[in-house]
Structure 1
Amino acid sequence: MAKGYWIAQVDVEDTERYGEYSALIDATLAPFGGRFLVRGGRREDVEGVTRQRAILIEFDSYEQALACYRSDAYQAIIPLRAGAAMADIVVVEGEGAR
């Protein structure tokens, strides 16, 4: 079965408030099997326009990835992020690492 992913690029404008969002995200992802594959770290922007942070979250399926994003729990913490950062997020289906 193909995996599902959240691919996010984020510019943090208020680190304290974004920290409140970050403190809640793991518990929000857990019921849907979401796992961070990339959450910060070294990077080099080699092409195109990007944001400060690149984030990749893996789920066991595309359906789980969408269900997590649409869940009441995740929707409840979006206002914390929205007031602290600009984010571009896409949910995609992919094969994942073998």
Structure 2
Amino acid sequence: MSKGYWVSVYPAIDDPETLDAYNGLAGRAVAAAGGRVLASIGSRIVAHEAGIADRVVLIEFDGFEQAVAAYESAAYREALAALPEGFERDFRIVEGLG
């Protein structure tokens, strides 16, 4: 079974404290679904080619379907509702290779 990954890119975070509620709820939802944070906001980034060094969060799940189910869970939906108005991010669920 191929692993599943959540990849989130945050172009700008104007006020990190506004994410506190989301971070707490999302952290519990991810842990309950068996996810493991591999990289988070604040991790070092070296940007190449386009040179965009946006903040990145990378979370690993044991399977792709598990990653999709975690996103669709009631616990994570509650976390999404806590995101501040107008908050911008690029979120993807990616299947690992083998």
* TM bin (shorter chain): 0.7 to 0.9
Deviations 1:27-73 (A, max 9, x none): 11122111100113111221237463111100000001000101111
- 1:22 Cα deviation from its structure 2 partner: 1.2
Gaps of 5+ in 1: none
Gaps of 5+ in 2: none
- 1:15 Cα deviation from its structure 2 partner: 1.3
- TM-score computed with the length of structure 1 as normaliser: 0.84
- 1:80 Cα deviation from its structure 2 partner: 2.1
User: What is the CA–CA distance in structure 2 between the aligned matches of 1:78 and 1:9, rounded to whole Å?
Assistant: 15
1:25 aligns with 2:51: no
Q: Which has more helix, going by share of residues?
A: 1
| Structure 1 outlier segments of 4+, above 4 Å | none
Structure 1 vs Structure 2: percent identity of aligned residues?
A: 36
- TM-score computed with the length of structure 2 as normaliser: 0.84
Q: Which has more strand, going by share of residues?
A: 1
1:46 matched residue in structure 2: 48
1:3 matched residue in structure 2: 3
Number of residue pairs matched by the alignment? 96
The root-mean-square deviation of aligned C-alpha atoms, in Å, is: 2.0
